[in-house]
Amino acid sequence: MKTHKTPVTDRYIGRTVAITGAAQGLGLAMASRFAAEGASLALADVNDVLLSEAMNQIQVHGDATVSQNVVDVTDSSTVNGWISEVEQTQGAVDVLVNNAGIIRDNRIEKISDADWDDVVDVSLKGAFYCSRAVFPGMRKRRYGRIISFSSMSWRGNFGQSNYVAAKAGVVGLTRTLALEGARDGITANAIAPGLIETPMLASMNDAARNLLIKKVPMMHTGDPSDIAEAAAFLGSEGAAFITGVVLDVDGGISIGSSIR
Ligand SMILES: NC(=O)c1ccc[n+]([C@@H]2O[C@H](COP(=O)([O-])OP(=O)(O)OC[C@H]3O[C@@H](n4cnc5c(N)ncnc54)[C@H](O)[C@@H]3O)[C@@H](O)[C@H]2O)c1
């Protein structure tokens, strides 16, 4: 992971940020970034071993706290229990980051029922469960930031019908949460990453990966810190008038072809 060159602020002091899928990749990069800006963290992941390792890498500042919970975002009672525990022990959730996601790529004929359900459940149903759990507290306090993970794929991508459906669903969910939260100081936005160097990207086959990198106008993959930068902005107080947007963080790949 690249070390960050941007001067780090203290804009998250007194704020609690809950992140799903926080044990590695983008979730871990965002956790480190929010912590560096003073946030208390509530980290959740289905993988307890990786999550404990991640906890050792994160340093919170001042009076900030950090908690780790094994949470499967596809299980609503576990999600509800996690959020209510965080609210009781660490205070209201100011920022929710719906980051957990998985891929099970294949052509439509080869996608099993389980491959469909698992992918849609983690990205989309998980984002719904977590957002529903934090909404009452955010509405009561008239403050909240919800950041959900879509993907550059949400517009359509060969061999990813399950993932695309989930990530397009995240866009629809985000836009609707934005409407429902707008009068109560709650914003909801999505980040659509391009190709970012994480274990998920490493799990793609080399041929597909190399082909995709050639299509990026900037001609290289992104770093998790590029995503953390966007999340730290969208989750901040300063982003108060931005809601319902899908922020592409992708080196330009969503614009179109850059073949000269
Ligand atoms: N890396 C990329 O290039 C890229 C591109 C576009 C979108 N995204 C999206 O960004 C998000 C993060 O991706 P990443 O590359 O860091 O992935 P990753 O595979 O590196 O990490 C995902 C994390 O989510 C956790 N997770 C999986 N299922 C879960 C569940 N049911 N409950 C809780 N946690 C669960 C995993 O244990 C893992 O720690 C995902 O939503 C992904 O779809 C990533």
Q: Of the candidates 249, 201, 252, 248, which has an alpha carbon nearest to the alpha carbon of residue 225?
A: 249
CB 181, CB 187: distance < 8 Å: yes
CB 131, CB 96: distance < 8 Å: yes
CB 88, CB 14: distance < 8 Å: no
For residue 160, the cross-strand partners are 106
CATH number for the domain spanning 200: value is: 3.40.50.720
Q: How far is CA 239 from CA 175, 216, 234, 235, 258, in A?
A: 16, 28, 6, 7, 31
Report yes or no on 6 lying in a domain. no
What's residue 26's pLDDT? 98
Instruction: Check if 195 has its Cβ closer than 6 Å to any atom of ligand 1.
Output: yes
Report yes or no on 50 lying in a domain. yes
pLDDT digits (tens, 9 = 90+) for 94-117: 999 999 999 999 999 999 999 999
CB atoms within 10 A of CB 247: 18
Grade residue 73 by pLDDT with cuts at 50, 70 and 90: very high
Q: Containing domain of residue 206, as a range?
A: 16-248
pLDDT digits (tens, 9 = 90+) for 123-140: 999 999 999 999 999 999
The Å distance, Cα 242 to ligand 1 centre, comes to: 24
Report yes or no on 255 lying in a domain. no
Q: Of 225 and 4, which is predicted with more confidence?
A: 225
- Is 12 assigned a catalytic role? no
Report yes or no on 225 lying in a domain. yes
Report yes or no on 11 lying in a domain. no
Angle subtended at Cα 234 by Cα 138 and Cα 151, rounded to the nearest 5 degrees: 105
Report yes or no on 1 lying in a domain. no
Ligand 1, atom 2, residue with closest C-alpha: 196
Report yes or no on 57 lying in a domain. yes
What's residue 6's pLDDT? 62
Indicate the top mutation candidate among 198, 213, 221, 226 to test ligand 1's pocket, ranked by most ligand atoms within 8 A of CB.
198
What DSSP state is assigned to residue 175? H
Tell if the pTM clears 0.95, that is, is over it.
Answer: yes
CB 85, CB 18: distance < 8 Å: no
Tell me what the mean pLDDT of segment 196-208 comes to. Answer: 87
Instruction: Check if 23 has its Cβ closer than 6 Å to any atom of ligand 1.
Output: yes
- Hunting for tokens 């022990």 — which residue is that? 89
Counting the structural domains of the chain, the total is: 1
Tokens of 134: 């934090």
Report yes or no on 36 lying in a domain. yes
Q: How far is CA 178 from CA 19, 150, 184, 230, in A?
A: 19, 15, 10, 18
Indicate the top mutation candidate among 19, 26, 119 to test ligand 1's pocket, ranked by most ligand atoms within 8 A of CB.
26
Dihedral sign for Cα atoms in the order 218, 229, 44, 155: negative
Instruction: Check if 71 has its Cβ closer than 6 Å to any atom of ligand 1.
Output: yes
Tell me what the mean pLDDT of segment 32-54 comes to. Answer: 98
